[in-house]
């Protein structure tokens, strides 16, 4: 039974990693890409606005 307890942690990690990679790949592009791009554009706009107000003072 030692071999079973030795193989379980790497097997669990491999399954978790595979699920993680598949999830990341599925979330690339499509409708999610538009949402991500909009979020990044909004963050850049906030940063630029903050920088402009900081320069004005």
- Give the tens place of pLDDT for each residue, 6-33: 999 999 999 999 999 999 888 777 777 7
Copy the structure tokens of residue 30. 């499509």
At residue 33, the 3 state secondary structure works out as helix
pLDDT at 52 exceeding the cut of 90: no
C-alpha separations of 26 from 1, 39, 40 in Å: 38, 19, 20
Spans of all domains in the chain? 2-56
Predicted pLDDT at 56: 57
Once rounded to an integer, what is the mean pLDDT over residues 47-55? 84
Identify the pLDDT of residue 45: 93
CA atoms within 13 A on the CB side of 52: 6
What was the pLDDT predicted at 57?
Answer: 54
pTM over 0.75: no
């Amino acid at each position: 039974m030692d071999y079973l307890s030795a193989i379980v942690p790497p097997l669990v990690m491999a399954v978790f990693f595979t699920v993680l990679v598949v999830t990341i790949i599925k979330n690339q592009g499509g409708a999610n890409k538009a949402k991500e791009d909009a979020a990044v554009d909004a963050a850049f706009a906030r940063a630029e606005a903050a920088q402009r107000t900081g320069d004005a003072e």
